[in-house]
Amino acid sequence: MNFWSKPIRSVQSLLRGKAPHVRQIRHLYSPILDRVVDLDVYLPPDYNRGPKKSYPLVLFNDGQDLPVMDFAGILENMYRVGAIPNLIAVGIYANFERTREYGTARQPDYKGRGDKAGFYRDFVMQELLPLLNHRFRLSGEPKETIFAGFSLGALSAMDIAWEYPQIFGGVGIFSGALWWRWSDVNPADPDADRIMLDIVQKTVEVDTNQRFWFECGTLDESDDRNNNGRIDAIDDTLDLMQALQEKGIPEESMYYLEIEGGRHDQRTWGEAMPAFLTWMLG
């Protein structure tokens, strides 16, 4: 079709060609979790046109949040302006076991939540990634393999990626539940006992090639346990970034986005998504 003879149809054709193809995988049984898992796989628009091409992978915990924020539309808009390379994104749906499967594999929190986090880590590493590598054309390069999540799902992504830097070269933390702790808040030392912070601080061998992207909204919560005038979500994020820097992660390998008026919801995370994808892969 000659563009100039039929410009409207030509433009419509070009716009349609930038939409990702969403493939739904439902009722995938996981022996490790002993439950079925649902996935949404966002394939790039050229996936079926280039059979020899491989793509970056971005995994998302709490994948059920992606349709709420119109993640497919976000990708389409970014592809249209060339902000990011074509990629494969996978949303892993959580279910009623979320507060048991997400957390830190080292230990549950002080209320016993996250007691299945080790099983969830093993599911990702031993079942999910081999499945995705078998069924889709992934580059497999650490710098092009990213793990991200929202809230408690962000903590889980951070914990797993930190343990496997040879696999995950980047981590995306949206409103991370970095307060996760092994004891209740002690007024005498309110910032003590945060598990992910302790894991980072006690890690002996650190891969300084990993990259970390963090987002917080100023209205993520209202708690301020140490009464410093800053909400805990922001304190916990900045403290973890400081710990990463002390372990040798370069300042330029971390990014912090604070959204004024941002809340603990999909709308805010969707607003932040283009900045995350652009910084990590753009």
12 within a domain of the structure (yes/no): no
7 within a domain of the structure (yes/no): no
**What's the pLDDT at 51?**
75
6 within a domain of the structure (yes/no): no
Residues, the chain: 282
259 within a domain of the structure (yes/no): yes
Among the listed residues 144, 68, 81, 84, the one whose alpha carbon sits nearest the alpha carbon of residue 275: 84
For the chain, the domain total comes to 1
2 within a domain of the structure (yes/no): no
Statement: the pTM of the whole predicted model exceeds 0.75: yes
Rounded to whole angstroms, how far apart are CA atoms 231 and 268? 17
Question: 91, 270 in Cβ contact below 8 A?
Answer: no
Q: Is the pLDDT of residue 13 over 60?
A: no
Among the listed residues 198, 208, 212, the one whose alpha carbon sits nearest the alpha carbon of residue 158: 212
Q: Which amino acid is at 260?
A: E
Mean pLDDT of 187-209: 97
Half-sphere exposure of 203 (CA within 13 A, CB side): 22
Mean pLDDT of 36-54: 92
Mean pLDDT of 154-166: 98
101 within a domain of the structure (yes/no): yes
Q: Is the pLDDT of residue 84 over 50?
A: yes
- Domain residue limits at 41: 19-281
Q: Is 183 exposed, middle or buried (0-12, 13-18, 19+ CB in 10 A)?
A: exposed
**What's the pLDDT at 16?**
52
**What's the pLDDT at 1?**
38
Residue that the structure tokens 């929202």 belong to: 150
14 within a domain of the structure (yes/no): no
